[in-house]
């Protein structure tokens, strides 16, 4: 066969493959552009039955379109179609993905999530990125935006918390049951680097343990001395610093014997658990645990779609303070 024809055939195949790939990605074939896998959790929040999104937790002055309490089978008829861009801390991406379809059906409002580290998102919003709602893993970032005058009604709310936990490989081969077990010789730990949030929280908790349980002049001192010099012994057992929570979960869940314990957020463990990871859970005493307060706010400066748009952002924000919202957060490991 002539080389020219082979070349032309190959070029055609490549072009066809590229076009098919593009069309498939754009959703022409699959019928849906949203390919994000969302874990199905039952029962999903049934907002239909609680038509009072005005939560008690957020005393806001803005008027809110209250959905009519009539059991209409097509609630979308009540609302003009709109869409919200939610800037959310990475840890919240899964829980939002879980409620967004129900929310869209209920309020005729499409949720688009931009998830990244909270500090990055705050910088983006400050720089004028079009965010409608900001959900931060630390209230310090919602406060910062409030100070910059970017929030609707100067209103930011703390809507949930997150805490650290210890995760163990299936079967817990080293028999770890206490924080003291983590610093025994030969125990191999994997944690997040102190430069990422979960690693910084871990560092805080390790210091708290040394300064309370490991400090002989503290009333909470543990007389066995297991926690004396805890910071040095703990980090002496660390065999790897990961750059994301997911990597820590993966290192433990792979169960290759490389690591005997890791520290992540409870929400990390909850999500790993519901997606089938075999990692085991060990709670950390609230006395030494580090709590992250999650803040939510509607960005007033970039709400451009008129009253309906702003009201929908407010309804979305208020959802998280409802019983349904709180129950959903609890399922995903928050607020515990």
Partner 1 sequence: MKSAFAKSLSDKIIIAILILIVLTYFLFVVLPIMAVFLRIEPSQVNAQLHNAAIIEAIKLSLFTAGTATLIALVLAVPTAYFMATRNFHGKAVLDTLIDLPIVLPPAVAGVALLYAFAPRGLLGPIFNHFGYILPGSTIAVIIAETFVASPFLLRSAKTGFESMDRDVINSAKMLTDSRLRVFFTVTLPLSLRAIISGAMMTWARALGEFGATLMFAGNLPGVTQTMPLAIYVFLYSDPLAGVMLSIILIAIAFAVLITVKLLEQKRYGAKK
- The helix/strand count (H/E) of the chain reads as 10, 10
Q: 258 vs 330, which CB is nearer to partner 1?
A: 258
Nearest distance from residue 116's CB to partner 1, in Å? 12
Closest CA to 162 of 263, 246, 268, 265: 265
* Beta-carbon count within 10 A of 15 CB: 10
Nearest distance from residue 136's CB to partner 1, in Å? 18
From the list 36-44, 92-100, 185-193, 221-229, the region that binds partner 1 by CB under 8 A is: 185-193
| Residue 40, C-beta contacts closer than 8 angstroms, at least 6 positions apart | none
From the list 24-32, 95-103, 186-194, 326-334, the region that binds partner 1 by CB under 8 A is: 186-194
Measured between its terminal Cα atoms, the distance across the chain in Å is 70
Window 251-290: contact mask with partner 1 (x via CB under 8 A): x--xxxxxx-------------------------------
Q: 242 vs 268, which CB is nearer to partner 1?
A: 242
From the list 67-75, 98-106, 174-182, 193-201, the region that binds partner 1 by CB under 8 A is: 193-201
Residue reference for tokens 């406060």: 143
- C-alpha distances in Å from residue 207, one per residue of 115, 149, 195, 228, 233: 30, 36, 16, 11, 11
Q: Are 168 and 279 in contact (CB under 8 A)?
A: yes
Q: 159 vs 259, which CB is nearer to partner 1?
A: 259
Q: What is the DSSP letter of 258?
A: S
**194-253: contacts with partner 1 (CB under 8 A):** 195-196, 238-243, 247, 251
Nearest distance from residue 156's CB to partner 1, in Å? 26
Nearest distance from residue 185's CB to partner 1, in Å? 13
Strands 292-299 and 133-136: antiparallel
Q: 242 vs 324, which CB is nearer to partner 1?
A: 242
* Beta-carbon count within 10 A of 10 CB: 10
Element (H, E) at 5: helix 3-26
Nearest distance from residue 239's CB to partner 1, in Å? 4
**78-137: contacts with partner 1 (CB under 8 A):** none
Closest CA to 176 of 301, 46, 263, 293: 263
Q: 200 vs 307, which CB is nearer to partner 1?
A: 200
Nearest distance from residue 256's CB to partner 1, in Å? 4
Closest CA to 82 of 40, 23, 36, 132: 132
**How many chain residues touch partner 1 (CB under 8 A)?**
19
Nearest distance from residue 240's CB to partner 1, in Å? 3
**Residues binding partner 1 (CB under 8 A):** 188, 190, 193, 195-196, 238-243, 247, 251, 254-259
């Amino acid at each position: 066969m002539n080389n020219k024809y082979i070349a032309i055939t190959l070029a055609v195949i490549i072009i066809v493959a590229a076009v098919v790939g593009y069309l498939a990605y754009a959703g022409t074939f699959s019928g849906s552009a949203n390919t994000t896998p969302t874990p199905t959790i039952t029962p999903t929040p049934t907002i239909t039955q609680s038509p009072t999104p005005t939560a008690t937790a957020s005393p806001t002055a803005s008027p809110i379109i209250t959905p009519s309490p009539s059991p209409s089978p097509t609630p979308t008829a009540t609302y003009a179609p709109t869409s919200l861009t939610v800037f959310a801390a990475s840890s919240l991406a899964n829980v939002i993905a879980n409620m967004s379809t129900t929310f869209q059906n209920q309020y005729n409002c499409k949720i688009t999530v931009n998830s990244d580290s909270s500090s990055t998102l705050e910088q983006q919003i400050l720089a004028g990125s079009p965010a409608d709602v900001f959900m931060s893993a630390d209230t310090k970032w919602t406060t910062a935006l409030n100070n910059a005058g970017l929030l609707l009604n100067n209103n930011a709310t703390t809507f949930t918390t997150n805490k650290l936990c210890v995760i163990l490989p299936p079967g817990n081969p080293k028999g770890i049951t206490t924080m003291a077990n983590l610093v025994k010789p030969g125990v191999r730990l994997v944690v997040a680097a102190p430069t990422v949030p979960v690693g910084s929280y871990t560092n805080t908790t390790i210091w708290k343990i040394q300064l309370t349980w490991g400090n002989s002049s503290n009333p909470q001192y543990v007389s066995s001395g297991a926690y004396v010099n805890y910071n040095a012994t703990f980090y002496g057992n660390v065999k790897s610093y990961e750059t994301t929570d997911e990597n820590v979960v993966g290192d433990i869940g792979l169960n290759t014997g490389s690591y005997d314990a890791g520290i992540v957020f409870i929400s990390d463990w909850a999500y790993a658990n519901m997606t089938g990871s075999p990692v085991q859970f060990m709670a950390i005493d609230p006395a030494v645990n580090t709590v992250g307060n999650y803040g939510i706010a509607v960005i007033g400066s970039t709400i451009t779609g008129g009253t309906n748009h702003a009201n929908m952002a407010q309804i979305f924000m208020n959802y998280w303070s409802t019983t349904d919202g709180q129950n959903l957060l609890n399922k995903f490991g928050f607020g515990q």
